[in-house]
Amino acid sequence: MSAKPKVAFFDFAGCEGDQLEIINLEDRLLDLVEVVDIVSFREAMSEHSDDYEIAFVEGSITTQHDLERLEKVRSNADILIAIGACATIAGVNAIRNDQDFEKVKERVYGEDAELFDDPDAELFEAFEKAYPAQAFVDVEYQVPGCPIDGDEFIQMITLLLEGGDPSLPNHAVCVDCKIEENTCTFERGETCLGPITRGGGCDATCVTQGARCWGCRGMVDNPDDDVYEEVLQEYDVTTEQLVNEFTLYWSWERNPEYPAEPPEVQQ
């Protein structure tokens, strides 16, 4: 990697909330541009260059057009980093993966669903399912979350530039939650995905703010289902009651697909 590596940001299907988190870093973003050369960042600048070493990719891959763009980014970059749940685990976009695509189109687009039949419209190339970047190309690193945590983003890029290993942390959100001394949501009569969700970057902020963990950082590696079952039993919660929560962020992750061939486009 060069002394001041060239960095580019790309967005696919998503709300661009992760890029917004990065822009909101304000002063720290100015520190960042002292050590990297940002050559492409549509949300923040009009210039664009295809000459970069590190590519940050946000959003899911949901069309043939997305896939072709992603492959081009991959071939240009030495290091590709997925940021946010949509890019790392297909996130909320993958809620559709287990549903009838015809009904999904009608529900989302109404009469405009007919655009899927129009060869001149971008929707013409839509895939039935949403995929994370890693389903199609090698991804060196990930920054999880919905949206990502700005501090975690800075930490990971600092580690990368210093030659460290910015791999994903692999402990449950419950660990962070205990450090924050939160009252467990199960004690409040609510459910929580914290026992099997990857912590280490969000500081259990949702629980700290009075909500619960919805699993946006993805599952820990080898989640201990037995221990989670024990927690659910202790609080008289069935896994059936949690189906919708498992679906919100984990639809792709629970049934991961790595298509050898590009998926067929849906008309």
Question: Would you tell me which residues interact with ligand SF4 (CB under 6 A)?
Answer: 14-18, 58-59, 84-86, 91-92, 146-147, 173-174, 177, 182, 184-186, 192, 194-195, 204, 207, 213
* Shortest Å distance, C-beta 210 to ligand SF4: 11
What's 198-265 look like in SS3? ECCCCCCHHHHCCCCCCCCCCECCCCCHHHHHHHHHHCCCCHHHHHHHHHHHHHHHHCCCCCCCCCCE
Nearer to ligand SF4, 40 or 142 (CB): 142
Nearest CB to ligand SF4, comparing residues 75 and 183: 183
CB of 59 to ligand SF4, least distance (A): 5
Minimum CB separation of residue 261 from ligand SF4 in Å reads 26
Nearest 5°: CA angle at 147, between 103 and 199?
110
Residue among 19 and 53 whose Cβ is closer to ligand SF4: 19
Closer to ligand SF4 by Cβ: residue 38 or 173: 173
Q: Report angle CA 67, 73, 77 to the nearest 5 degrees.
A: 145
In terms of CB distance, is 2 or 209 closer to ligand SF4? 209
Nearest distance, CB of residue 2 and ligand SF4, angstroms: 29
Residue nearest to ligand SF4 (CB): 194
Asked if 56 and 9 count as a contact pair (C-beta separation under 8 A), the reply is yes
Determine contact, residues 206/213, Cβ cutoff 8 Å: yes
CB 37 within 8 A of CB 5: yes
* Pair 10, 139: CB distance under 8 Å: no
